[in-house]
Amino acid sequence: MRLVIQRVLESGVRVDGQEVGRIGPGFMVLCGVEDGDTEEDVRYCVDKTVNLRVFEDDAGKMNRSILEAGGEILAISQFTLHGDVRRGRRPSFIRAARPELAVPMYDAYCAGLREAGIHVETGIFQTDMKVSLVNDGPVTLLIDSRRTF
């Protein structure tokens, strides 16, 4: 499972011109499921997401987690995170999980965040989404449950 996490002041997602999710301060997370991902990958990503210390404390240092900061999360499914662009000019998405695996893994990731006590909004899987955000910092982090980077 691969994540792109952006600390945001606000973020929203629209499908067919209708807003389907909106958050205030917190994280906008792009979540890509790789073929072969398991519940262990989900647990790893949930733990990393909720415990990242990237919110400022009273001294202005990035020392607080999203739980401590009271932030929200907008989680967007994003199969293109597993696009391989090493050869040619057209990405290969062969490593991205098919919907039969990706949907339950994405749903489990969102459920794990909610179980940790975070308000989570989502987009709609397999739709053309328009995502907006105001990046805070900017702070952008990459997480891969297989620790490839």
Active site residues: 78-80
Per DSSP, 136 falls in state E
27 within 8 A of 143, measured Cβ to Cβ = no
Query: What pairs with residue 25 in β-bridges?
Result: none
- Which amino acid, residue 16? D
Q: Long-range pairs for 81-85 at CB < 8 Å and ≥24 separation?
A: 81/2, 81/3, 81/4, 81/30, 81/31, 81/32, 82/2, 82/32, 82/33, 82/34
